[in-house]
């Protein structure tokens, strides 16, 4: 018996050793299970998600034989997408959440860049030891679980117990219901949305900061030194030397920041759950509520597909815009 | 002063430059330090809140500094029979730990194959893997849930671990890293009679320590902090992970800010503690990969 095992073992080993056949066996043996796994957990859900869009589906109904589609979960064709343009309640909620998502993403991106780019340049300019300290502190919020961030900021914004209202009162101003007042607006964006945006920025900044610092370290010193020799001011160096050299990083950061802010969910679900009066209801929250609270998975799937398309289009546009700028 | 500088124009220019430089430095540090303080405010406010008594925290106007610092809120949380905190730490740890191990194994293996072998359909397969990175999690979330339901993995920690055992980004990262290793290393091992698997296990894994550390830490943090997926999948209290626990706790004891803050500290602390030790790896990892 053991002799047989040995023979098999030897065969096996020879098959895997050196020979071309051994290599292709290894490749096939290693990749096949992994690829099947990916097909199962990534491609199958993707296809399923596309199919789901054409049905009025709920997991609570039994439906037809294949994936529970058909029967009680009827085929509706492009009905969900037509519905998005209608006056139905869910369509209004969808459009509100789309609008809020756009407001959120297009405010977060510039605010983030305006803070992180100069901050990275400043940190890069200080002494090596201190640089590490600053980077350490500025990066803390990024590592904090979003639930933690929401808890902290919920307390800062607390109408009676919060620090912000305490400061406002000390300054003689009227305290605000930061997260709950539906009639409070700043530059026609609701106060609750601003409040969320600031908490989000606080958490998200460190991530971009670290990438910018790394990119700045990649710029050869000679460039800036040459500019100094030519008599350029700090300001000129920033605009004419540093920023242009950061272009590729900027493109990357813009795309990534946009992508993640289009998908914002945790912080909003915890801090406001979309309120007040849906003023902070964003698309992922809309998807979550429809799919898992109201069991309207077909509709939620259609909304998620819309989100996917928007994200794709915005990404492509950004790439085009920023890439043409590189050329010269 | 003005006359002196006026009298020696030769010295004036450098002096002013030095002064301006010094002023710039001071301003720079002042800005950076105040930025740091502002960054720390939410943490400090939470910690201060956690030390206030349940009566002090609702006082109007609120106190800045806890007048009678107390550990009562921590005691309440740690002694709450409905809240076996150790259980939730363990859940989070099981999920994050097993996810990391699986991701490290699958990513390094696939990365090795894609980096060092030539085979039919390689670029198409790799393209497929990269393409899956473009799919937002929200799109596959609903079918993913339905699949777990069919497999009977809803409300189990397996449901959190299994779907993310293979990570496209991890494969990409490992491929990039392993491509940089000299191929002569592999050939030498083959001449010595090593099997392909042996090359992966003994040589490649030994060479990619830094990349494994980076990927491992990033995956661990991602899993430890993840919120939406556990929120959907887990329905039984005992199986919740830490982040879900915190919101559940808030919804149950909504009005008890002191308890909320103590719970917040307990949830946030471990990761920050880990960060102080692994700072270099984490920062390097993000700077290198550009991914959260």
Q: What is the pLDDT of residues B86-101, one digit of tens each?
A: 888 899 999 999 999 9
pLDDT, residue B252, reads 66
The answer, for B24 touching chain A at a CB cutoff of 8 Å, is yes
Q: B110, A143: Cβ pair inside 8 Å?
A: no
Q: A145, B261: Cβ pair inside 8 Å?
A: no
Q: B142, A49: Cβ pair inside 8 Å?
A: yes
Task: Name A25's Cβ contacts closer than 8 Å, sequence gap at least 6.
Answer: A15, A16, B196
Q: Which residue has the tokens 């043996």?
A: A29
Whether residue A77 is predicted with pLDDT greater than 90 in this model: the reply is no
Cα-only R_g, chain B: 27
pLDDT, residue A17, reads 52
Taking only residues 261 to 290 of chain B, the set having a beta carbon closer than 8 angstroms to any beta carbon of chain A reads 261, 263-264, 267-268, 271-272, 275-276, 279, 282-283, 286-288, 290
What is the DSSP-derived secondary structure letter of residue A266?
H
pLDDT, residue B67, reads 82
pLDDT, residue B52, reads 86
Whether residue B10 is predicted with pLDDT greater than 50 in this model: the reply is no
Contacts of A30 in chain B (CB under 8 A): 109-110, 112-113, 200
Report how far residue A300's alpha carbon sits from residue B172's, in angstroms, rounded to the nearest whole number: 31
For residues B19-39, average pLDDT: 86
Confidence category of residue B9, pLDDT binned at 50, 70, 90: very low
Cα dihedral across residues B223, B226, B229, B231: positive or negative: positive
pLDDT, residue A327, reads 42
Q: State which H helix or E strand residue B18 sits in.
A: helix B9-50
What is the DSSP-derived secondary structure letter of residue A178?
T
Q: Are A311 and A301 in contact (CB under 8 A)?
A: no
Whether residue B12 is predicted with pLDDT greater than 60 in this model: the reply is no
Confidence category of residue B103, pLDDT binned at 50, 70, 90: very high
Q: Are A285 and A269 in contact (CB under 8 A)?
A: yes
Q: Are A131 and A124 in contact (CB under 8 A)?
A: yes
State the average pLDDT for chain A.
86
For residues A156-183, average pLDDT: 87
Give bridge partners of residue A75 from the DSSP assignment: A55
Whether residue B4 is predicted with pLDDT greater than 70 in this model: the reply is no
A3 CB-side CA count, 13 A: 0
Identify the weakest region by mean pLDDT among B143-152, B216-225, B253-262, B268-277: B253-262
Q: At what angle do helices A247-262 and A89-125 cross, to 10 degrees?
A: 150
Residue B202's SS3 state is helix
Cα dihedral across residues A196, A197, A198, A203: positive or negative: positive
Alpha-carbon separation of residue A194 from A178, A200, B26, B206, B224 (angstroms): 9, 10, 32, 49, 28
For residues B121-146, average pLDDT: 88
Query: What DSSP string describes A71-106?
Result: TTB-B-TTHHHHHHTSSSHHHHHHHHHHHHHHHHHH
Alpha-carbon separation of residue B50 from A132, B147, B270 (angstroms): 29, 41, 16
How far is the alpha carbon of A157 from chain B, nearest alpha carbon, in Å?
A: 10
Report how far residue B272's alpha carbon sits from residue A148's, in angstroms, rounded to the nearest whole number: 11
Confidence category of residue A281, pLDDT binned at 50, 70, 90: very high
Where do the domains of chain A lie? 2-46, 53-81, 87-326
Q: How many CB pairs under 8 A join A and B?
A: 255
State the average pLDDT for chain B.
84
Reported for B72-80, long-range contacts at CB under 8 A and 24+ positions apart, including other chains, are: B72/B258, B73/B256, B73/B258, B73/B259, B73/B261, B73/B262, B74/B50, B74/B262, B74/B266, B76/B259, B76/B262, B77/B259, B77/B262, B77/B263, B77/B266
Q: Are B94 and B157 in contact (CB under 8 A)?
A: yes
B226-252 per-position pLDDT tens digit? 889 999 998 887 888 888 877 777 666
Q: Are B173 and B182 in contact (CB under 8 A)?
A: no
pLDDT, residue A291, reads 92
Q: Are B204 and B193 in contact (CB under 8 A)?
A: no
Taking only residues 283 to 302 of chain A, the set having a beta carbon closer than 8 angstroms to any beta carbon of chain B reads 283-284, 287-288, 291-292, 297, 300-301
Closest CA relative to residue B148, chosen from A48, A70, A284: A48
Confidence category of residue A265, pLDDT binned at 50, 70, 90: very high
Report how far residue A277's alpha carbon sits from residue A279's, in angstroms, rounded to the nearest whole number: 5
A26-36 per-position pLDDT tens digit? 999 999 999 99
Report how far residue A166's alpha carbon sits from residue B64's, in angstroms, rounded to the nearest whole number: 9
Q: Determine the residue of chain B that is closest to A43 in CA distance.
A: B132
DSSP H helical segments within chain A, as ranges? Answer: 2-16, 20-38, 44-52, 79-84, 89-125, 128-143, 146-156, 163-170, 191-218, 221-229, 234-236, 243-245, 247-262, 266-271, 283-288, 297-326
Q: State which H helix or E strand residue A190 sits in.
A: strand A189-190
The answer, for B113 touching chain A at a CB cutoff of 8 Å, is yes
Q: A26, B268: Cβ pair inside 8 Å?
A: no
pLDDT, residue A62, reads 75
For residues A144-173, average pLDDT: 89
| Encoded tokens for B253 | 């004891």
Query: What DSSP string describes B215-284?
Result: HHHHHHHHHHH--HHHHHH--SGGG--HHHHHHHHHHHSTT-HHHHHHHHHHHHHHHHHHHHHHHHHHHH
| Encoded tokens for A228 | 């100094």
| % of residues, chain B, pLDDT over 90 | 27
Closest CA relative to residue B180, chosen from B198, B204, B213, B201: B204
Taking only residues 41 to 80 of chain B, the set having a beta carbon closer than 8 angstroms to any beta carbon of chain A reads 41-43, 45-46, 49, 57-58, 60-62, 64
Residue B195's SS3 state is strand
For residues A72-100, average pLDDT: 88
Q: B135, A16: Cβ pair inside 8 Å?
A: no
Residue B176's SS3 state is helix
CATH topology of domain A87-326: MetI-like fold (1.10.3720)
pLDDT, residue A300, reads 93
Cα dihedral across residues A81, A82, A83, A84: positive or negative: positive
What is the DSSP-derived secondary structure letter of residue A295?
-
ipTM: 0.84
Q: Are B165 and B106 in contact (CB under 8 A)?
A: yes
Confidence category of residue A96, pLDDT binned at 50, 70, 90: very high
The answer, for B4 touching chain A at a CB cutoff of 8 Å, is no
Note if the pTM is more than 0.90: no
Q: Determine the residue of chain A that is closest to B17 in CA distance.
A: A233
Q: B135, A161: Cβ pair inside 8 Å?
A: no
Report how far residue B246's alpha carbon sits from residue B260's, in angstroms, rounded to the nearest whole number: 8
Closest CA relative to residue A197, chosen from A157, A166, A137: A157
């Amino acid at each position: 018996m053991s002799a047989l095992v040995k023979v098999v073992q030897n065969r096996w080993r020879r098959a895997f050793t050196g020979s071309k056949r051994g290599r292709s066996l290894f490749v096939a043996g290693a990749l096949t299970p992994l690829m099947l796994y990916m097909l199962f957990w990534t491609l199958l859900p993707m296809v399923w998600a596309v199919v789901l869009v054409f049905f009025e589906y709920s997991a609570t109904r039994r439906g037809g034989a294949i994936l529970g589609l058909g029967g009680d979960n009827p085929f509706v064709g492009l009905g969900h997408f037509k519905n998005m343009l209608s006056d139905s309640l869910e369509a209004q909620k969808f459009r509100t959440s789309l609008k809020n998502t756009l407001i959120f993403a297009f405010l977060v991106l510039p605010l983030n860049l305006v803070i992180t780019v100069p901050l990275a340049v400043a940190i890069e300019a200080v002494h090596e030891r201190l640089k590490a300290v600053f980077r350490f502190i500025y990066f803390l919020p990024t590592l904090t679980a979003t639930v933690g961030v929401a808890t902290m900021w919920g307390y800062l914004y607390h109408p009676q117990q919060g620090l912000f209202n305490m400061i406002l009162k000390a300054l003689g101003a009227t305290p605000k219901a930061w997260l709950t007042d539906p009639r409070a607006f700043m530059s026609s964006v609701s106060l609750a949305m601003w409040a969320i945006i600031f908490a989000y920025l606080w958490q998200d900044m460190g991530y971009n900061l670290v990438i910018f610092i790394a990119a700045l370290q990649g710029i050869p010193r000679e460039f800036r030194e040459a500019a100094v020799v030519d008599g350029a001011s700090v300001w000129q160096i920033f605009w004419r030397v540093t920023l242009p050299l950061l272009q590729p990083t900027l493109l990357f950061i813009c795309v990534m920041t946009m992508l993640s802010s289009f998908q914002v969910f945790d912080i909003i679900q915890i801090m406001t759950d979309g309120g007040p009066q849906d003023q902070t209801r964003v698309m992922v929250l809309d998807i979550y509520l429809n799919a898992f609270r109201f069991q309207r998975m077909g509709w939620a799937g259609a909304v998620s597909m819309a989100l996917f398309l928007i994200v794709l289009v915005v990404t492509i546009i950004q790439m085009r815009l920023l890439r043409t700028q590189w050329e010269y | 002063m003005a006359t002196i500088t006026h009298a020696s124009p030769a010295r004036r220019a450098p002096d002013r430059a030095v002064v301006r430089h010094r002023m710039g430095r001071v301003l720079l540090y002042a800005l950076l330090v105040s930025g740091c303080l502002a960054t720390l405010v939410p943490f400090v406010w939470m910690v201060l809140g956690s030390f206030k008594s349940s009566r002090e925290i609702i006082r109007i106007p609120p106190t800045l500094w806890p007048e009678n610092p107390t550990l009562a809120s921590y005691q309440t949380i740690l002694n709450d029979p409905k809240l076996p905190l150790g259980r939730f730490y363990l859940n989070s740890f099981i999920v994050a730990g097993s996810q990391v191990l699986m991701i490290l194994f699958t990513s390094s293996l696939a990365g090795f194959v894609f980096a060092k072998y030539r085979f039919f359909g390689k670029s198409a397969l790799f393209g497929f893997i990269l393409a899956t990175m473009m799919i937002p999690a929200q799109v596959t979330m609903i079918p993913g849930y339905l699949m777990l339901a069919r497999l009977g993995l809803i409300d189990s920690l397996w449901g959190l671990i299994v779907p993310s055992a293979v990570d496209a980004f991890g494969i990409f990262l490992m491929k990039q890293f392993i491509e940089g290793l000299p191929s002569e290393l592999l050939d030498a091992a083959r001449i010595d009679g090593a099997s392909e698997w042996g090359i992966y296990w003994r040589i490649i894994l030994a060479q990619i320590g830094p990349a494994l550390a980076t990927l491992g830490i990033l995956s661990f943090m991602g899993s430890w902090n993840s919120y939406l997926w556990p929120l959907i999948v887990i329905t039984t209290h005992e199986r919740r992970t830490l982040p879900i626990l915190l919101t559940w706790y808030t919804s149950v004891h909504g009005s008890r800010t002191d308890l909320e803050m103590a719970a917040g500290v307990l949830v946030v602390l471990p990761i920050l503690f880990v960060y102080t030790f692994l700072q270099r790896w984490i920062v390097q990892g993000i700077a290198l990969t550009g991914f959260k």
